[in-house]
């Protein structure tokens, strides 16, 4: 497995060099049914990538095919993000990030070296910064960054071949291919559990993401098979009976994540 460091000592041919210049910034609320914060901590030593150091807010989080938060990643900085998910910090779950706001496991595919070629998985619409010149001329383009170490990982009980690199403190970072009607896009996955991240600071996860004009959607996924339940009472999505001692039409739909 190739090692790439999200820290001050990154070798630029492997990926990036972080600057030792720190930027203080106010927290930014990011809303998606809950309030999260983004705290800009340091510049990233590249104009094309950003880093996230993830800590838990203490709130709970459900496995879901819907994102729990949307975050714009448009500046090359390392940010502290406060996510819920304390209840899923068991070594059997991922935080995931991608540019789609819906998820279907059937759209997830293995990766291969050809996915890192020009205008394949990292296309010019979603990642235009790599196409302002020649894609292959960028020392930190996705091909240079991820090619071509792979690992077999389990996502919701299915095995996939993913690009695999190690971030700071050997935190594993995976990339799969997600293909829908809009074409292929990368799906980034990081296990979450207590760890040390960038600059030896406590975290539960960290991301290294290419900048994009499209907001990133963040999910919580299980490594093993899981189910999502929808309960309908008299045709309405609900888990509460309006009154007792009355007959109701109860429908429970069980879905794979």
129 phi, psi to nearest 5 deg: -65, -20
Task: Return the ∠ at Cα 194 (arms to 52 and 256), rounded to 5°.
Answer: 80
Dihedral class, residue 223 (left if φ above 0, else alpha if ψ from -120 to 50, else beta): alpha
pLDDT of 110: 98
Q: Write out pLDDT tens, residues 149-162.
A: 999 999 999 999 99
Q: Write out pLDDT tens, residues 194-204.
A: 888 877 889 99
pLDDT of 122: 98
Q: Write out pLDDT tens, residues 205-246.
A: 999 999 999 999 999 999 997 666 788 887 888 777 777 766
Residue 206 vs residues 51, 94, 179, 190, 233: alpha-carbon distances, Å: 7, 11, 24, 7, 40
pLDDT of 168: 78
Mean pLDDT of the chain: 81
Q: What is the DSSP string of 121-136?
A: SS-TTT-GGGGSS-GG
Tell me the CB-side half-sphere exposure of residue 31, using CA atoms within 13 A.
1
**Mean pLDDT within 45-71:** 89
pLDDT of 250: 80
pLDDT of 11: 29
Q: Which residue has the tokens 């996860």?
A: 205
Is the CB of residue 150 less than 8 Å from the CB of residue 161? yes
Q: Which of 5-19, 138-152, 171-185 has the lowest average pLDDT?
A: 5-19
Residue 29 in 3-state DSSP?
Answer: strand
pLDDT of 32: 36
Q: Write out pLDDT tens, residues 56-65.
A: 977 899 999 9
Percent pLDDT > 70 in the chain is: 78
Is the CB of residue 54 less than 8 Å from the CB of residue 152? no
**Mean pLDDT within 61-89:** 92
* pLDDT of 247 over the 60 cut: yes
Distance CA 218, CA 99 (A): 9
Is the CB of residue 256 less than 8 Å from the CB of residue 227? yes
* pLDDT of 30 over the 70 cut: no
pLDDT of 138: 94
pLDDT of 10: 31
Report which of 172, 105, 173, 96 is spatially closest to residue 142, judged by C-alpha positions. 173
């Amino acid at each position: 497995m190739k090692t790439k460091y999200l820290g001050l000592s990154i070798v630029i041919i492997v990926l990036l060099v972080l600057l030792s210049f720190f930027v203080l910034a106010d927290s930014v609320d990011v809303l998606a049914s809950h309030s999260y914060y983004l705290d800009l901590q340091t510049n990233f030593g590249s104009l094309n990538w950003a880093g996230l150091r993830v800590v838990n807010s203490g709130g709970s989080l459900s496995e879901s095919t819907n994102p729990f938060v949307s975050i714009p990643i448009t500046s090359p900085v390392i940010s502290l993000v406060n996510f819920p998910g304390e209840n899923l910090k068991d070594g059997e779950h991922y935080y995931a990030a991608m540019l789609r706001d819906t998820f279907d496991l059937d759209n997830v595919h293995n990766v291969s070296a050809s996915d890192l070629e020009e205008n394949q998985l990292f296309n010019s619409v979603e990642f235009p910064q790599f196409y302002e010149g020649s894609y292959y001329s960028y020392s930190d383009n996705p091909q240079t960054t991820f090619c071509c170490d792979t690992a077999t990982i389990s996502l919701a009980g299915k095995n996939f071949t993913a690009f695999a690199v190690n971030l700071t403190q050997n935190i594993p970072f995976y990339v799969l291919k997600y293909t829908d009607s809009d074409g292929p896009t990368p799906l980034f996955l990081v296990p979450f559990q207590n760890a040390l991240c960038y600059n030896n600071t406590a975290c539960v996860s960290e991301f290294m993401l290419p900048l994009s004009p499209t907001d990133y959607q963040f999910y919580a996924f299980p490594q093993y098979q899981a189910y999502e339940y929808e309960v309908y009472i008299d045709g309405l999505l609900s888990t509460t009976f309006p009154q007792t001692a009355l007959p109701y039409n109860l429908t429970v739909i069980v879905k794979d994540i």
